[in-house]
């Protein structure tokens, strides 16, 4: 692990972005001699890995796991969002494969002109996130002095504009429902003011065993983020035996089986109120959904997900061999970007359009 300098995003200071160009990445690649480069959400720092891999003729795989264009547009920066979308497409289309976590994201990127897309979901640790971690002590911590007979509705995630936590305001007013919010972020103070006078407890960040016990000691899980490419916290909640109530937008909606493991809701507060009220009023339904949710999560162990990733690595290596054969002696071509950012890579300019490499 090599730490590099980074900066916080203006609209999400807790999200760190690496700097580019960074010639040190190339030196690290020469020292380490990798067989493959795997980029996670390349935007700036990832350019160094992309260029370093392509210059050394080794395969490059890129994950698309954060909807950066969607986030910028949420903050009213539509022009920046379009430019960012075009920039990310350039990076991903010069990778051998782009891995996306959901069908929703695959369709979205395909419509935007991305190529060589493959679905690679996420696993969940069924031992770490497990109903067996439920404890009375942690239930009391989640309640924080509220009625012990309350239904504990849990939210876990960043407190940012695009997470739309405000959709839970009316849920927090439901009799017999105690809303507990785990997480922190730029909007925490604003949300605390908004939820003043409701049955809401802002608990802050929780990690490790504390987070595991928090999940398992709640009753239901609610998630309102609409720009999610996946939604890992939903899987963690389901593995912990919680019915999940999520927004019917983005990749997160694919994780919930309607009326079986939880509910998908339209983007209005009343829809969330109706779902949580039903889970409050029908305990047998809630208990059955909890069992179903755990069974669903058990089908997604990390071992299966990582085995799938190894298959994609093999595919990228084979694709790279074909590509290197096709472009044995590329002629230098000047791209629109300065050489220090994107050097002369003739074969990679043709790569995204070549019919043999677009499946």
Domain spans, the chain = 6-123+302-357, 133-298
Mean pLDDT, residues 42-54: 87
Domain spanning 6-123+302-357, CATH class = alpha beta
133-298: CATH superfamily: Glycogen Phosphorylase B; (3.40.50.2000)
φ/ψ (deg, to 5) at 29: -65, -40
- Over residues 251-301, the pLDDT tens digits come to 999 999 999 999 999 999 999 999 999 999 999 999 999 999 999 999 999
Better-scored residue on pLDDT, 73 or 30: 30
For 196-217, what is each residue's pLDDT tens digit?
999 999 999 999 999 999 999 9
Supply the DSSP symbol for 107.
H
Q: Cα separation of 24 and 48, whole Å? A: 9
Residue 85: pLDDT band by 50, 70, 90 thresholds? Answer: confident
**CA-CA distances (angstroms) from residue 130 to 11, 26, 125, 200, 223?**
34, 42, 9, 25, 19
Mean confidence (pLDDT) of the chain:
88
Nearest to 222 by CA among 147, 152, 292, 135: 152
Residue 340 has pLDDT above 50, yes or no: no
Residues 6+ apart with CB under 8 A from 285: 278, 279
**Is residue 155 a contact partner of residue 218, using CB atoms and an 8 Å limit?**
no
292-338 per-position pLDDT tens digit = 999 999 999 999 999 999 999 999 999 999 988 887 655 443 334 44
Judge contact between 47 and 19, C-beta under 8 A: no
Say if CB 211 and CB 182 are below 8 A apart: yes
Q: Phi, psi (5° rounding) for residue 40?
A: -110, 115
Q: Sign of torsion, CA 129 65 228 203?
A: positive
Helix (H, G, I), strand (E, B) or coil at 217: helix
- Confirm whether 6-123+302-357 and 133-298 share one CATH topology: yes
Give dist(CA 204, CA 43) in Å, integer. 29
Shortest CA distance to 297 belongs to which of 66, 63, 99, 121?
A: 121
**What are 105-142's pLDDT values in tens digits?**
999 999 999 999 999 999 999 999 999 999 999 999 99
Measured distance CA(237)–CA(275) in Å, rounded? 17
Q: What is the pLDDT of residue 35?
A: 95
φ and ψ at 200, to 5 degrees?
Answer: -125, 140
Cis peptide preceding 21, ω within 30 of 0: yes
Mean pLDDT of 80-94: 86
Q: CA 99 to CA 85: how far, in whole Å? A: 16
Q: DSSP letters along 109-120, please?
A: HHHTT--SEEE-
Predicted pLDDT at 312:
98
The answer to whether 124 touches 151, Cβ cutoff 8 Å, is no
Inform me whether the pLDDT recorded for 347 exceeds 80. no
């Amino acid at each position: 692990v090599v730490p590099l300098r980074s900066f916080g995003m203006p609209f999400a200071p807790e999200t760190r972005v690496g700097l580019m160009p960074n010639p040190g990445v190339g030196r690290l690649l020469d020292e380490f001699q990798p067989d493959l480069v795997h980029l996670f959400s390349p935007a700036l720092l990832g350019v160094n890995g992309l260029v370093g891999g392509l210059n050394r003729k080794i395969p490059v795989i890129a994950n698309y796991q954060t909807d950066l264009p969607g986030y910028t547009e949420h903050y009213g920066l539509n022009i920046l969002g379009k430019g960012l979308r075009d920039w990310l497409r350039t990076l991903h289309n010069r990778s051998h494969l782009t891995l996306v976590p959901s069908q929703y994201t695959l369709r979205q990127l395909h419509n935007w002109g991305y190529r060589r897309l493959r679905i690679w979901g996420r696993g969940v640790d069924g031992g770490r996130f497990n109903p067996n971690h439920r404890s009375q002590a942690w239930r009391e911590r989640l309640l924080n002095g509220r009625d012990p007979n309350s239904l504990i509705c849990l939210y876990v995630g960043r407190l940012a504009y695009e997470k739309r936590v405000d959709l839970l305001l009316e849920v927090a007013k439901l009799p017999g429902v105690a809303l507990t919010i785990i997480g922190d972020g730029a909007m925490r103070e604003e949300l605390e003011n908004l939820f003043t006078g409701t049955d809401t407890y802002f608990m802050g960040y929780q990690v490790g065993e504390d987070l595991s016990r928090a999940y398992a000691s709640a009753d239901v899980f609610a998630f309102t983020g609409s720009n999610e490419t996946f939604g890992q916290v939903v899987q963690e909640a389901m593995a912990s035996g919680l019915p999940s109530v999520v927004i019917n937008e983005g990749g997160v909606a694919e994780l919930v089986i309607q009326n079986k493991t939880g509910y998908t809701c339209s983007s209005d507060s009343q829809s969330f109120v109706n779902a949580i009220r039903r889970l409050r009023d029908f305990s047998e339904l809630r208990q059955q959904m909890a069992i179903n949710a755990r069974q669903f999560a058990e089908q997604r162990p990390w071992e299966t997900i990582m085995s799938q990733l190894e298959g994609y690595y093999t595919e990228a290596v084979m694709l790279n061999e074909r590509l290197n054969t096709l472009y044995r002696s590329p002629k230098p071509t000047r791209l629109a970007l300065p050489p220090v950012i994107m050097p002369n890579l003739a074969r990679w300019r043709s790569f995204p359009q070549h019919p043999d490499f677009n499946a």
